[in-house]
Amino acid sequence: MSTPATGGDPPGFAPRHVALIMDGNGRWAAQRGLPRGEGHRRGVEALRRTVRAAGALGIEVLTIFSFSAENWSRPAAEVFDLMGLLRRFIRKDLLDLHQSNVKVRVIGERRDLDRDIERLLAEAEDLTRANTGLVLVVAFNYGSRQEIARAAQKLAAEVAAGRLAPEAITAELLASRLDAPDLPEPDLIIRTSGEQRLSNFLLWQAAYSELVFLPIYWPDFDRAALEGAIAEYRRRERRFGGLAAAGAGTRPS
Ligand code: IPE
Ligand code: IPE
Ligand code: MG
């Protein structure tokens, strides 16, 4: 995700890359007296709707935070439930995604995952590699600090092997060693559930992302919520450290 940020997109256009922190499944369930697992299952339905909506709205890249490197600290039964949901999602939805021309990418650490999950993720990427529609980036066992540390390890190995001078390490070079360096950085990051934090998601890539926090739980997310967040994004002015565009100060807030 090293594409330089160069000034946003023309008004009326969808953001190229939307990233989603799909939060609040547990609270959605608790509010209804249901087990947390039911919230996660309804969350998968919201994800299906959202992938369809993102494609229809002309978004190029949709990144979804599915399981964080820190989520292993949850009770074993919930972790087991979440792993089962990922297995079922790939087995059930992969063909549909493929037929919809969706290209699946995966970011995060794969080495700690069960072998069958690792294989399913690889299968999803392999099957959809040549697709040209929406790029769906699944952040699974993902932590941004860990991703940056892995990138630093790669550079350190190149320095140790004598192939890279320490002075040659720039922000761009480090970005080029992140998990999906060819993708644009997120223009818009949406978090549901009312929490206003990134929780170790895309810390590097979010340097100039617009952040939208929605007061709804993830299972209630739908196309209207996505369109609302995009409308809010369009009202923002992205400056990337430069100055406001002429006339921008006169727009209503
Ligand atoms: C998001 O919902 C799903 C994952 C983190 C896997 P949560 O499970 O975090 O739901 P809350 O935040 O406890 O309500
Ligand atoms: C972030 O939500 C991770 C995912 C949505 C997968 P969490 O529920 O894990 O985040 P915290 O613990 O509230 O910060
Ligand atoms: Mg949560």
Tens-level pLDDT at each residue, the chain (253 residues):
444 444 455 555 689 999 999 999 999 999 999 999 999 999 999 999 999 999 999 999 999 999 999 999 999 999 999 999 999 999 999 999 999 999 999 999 999 999 999 999 999 999 999 999 999 999 999 999 999 999 999 999 999 999 999 999 999 999 999 999 999 999 999 999 999 999 999 999 999 999 999 999 999 999 999 999 999 999 999 999 999 887 555 455 4
| Ligand 1 atom 1, closest CA | 23
Radius of gyration over every alpha carbon of the chain, rounded to an integer in angstroms: 19
Ligand 2, atom nearest to 139 Cα: 6
Cα–chain-centroid distance for residue 225? 17
20 forms bridges with which residues in the sheet?
A: 64, 190
DSSP class of residue 3 equals: P
Q: If 0-12 CB within 10 Å is exposed, 13-18 middle and 19+ buried, where does residue 158 land?
A: middle
| Ligand 2 atom 9, closest CA | 71
What is the spatial distance between Cα 124 and Cα 64, in angstroms, rounded to a whole number?
15
Helix (H) or strand (E) holding 19: strand 17-21
Angle at 78 between CA 74 and CA 84, to 5 degrees: 130
Q: Is the pTM of this model over 0.75?
A: yes
> Quick one: three-class SS letters along 3-32?
CCCCCCCCCCCCCCEEEEECCCHHHHHHHC
**Mind listing the domains of the chain with CATH numbers?**
17-235 (3.40.1180.10)
| Ligand 2 atom 14, closest CA | 199
Q: Which among 38, 88, 17 has a CA at the least distance from the CA of 218?
A: 38
Residue 46 near residue 193 (C-beta atoms within 8 A): no
- What protein residues have CB closer than 5 angstroms to ion ligand 3? 23
> Residue 22 half-sphere exposure, CB side, CA atoms within 13 Å?
28
Ligand nearest to the CA of 28: 1
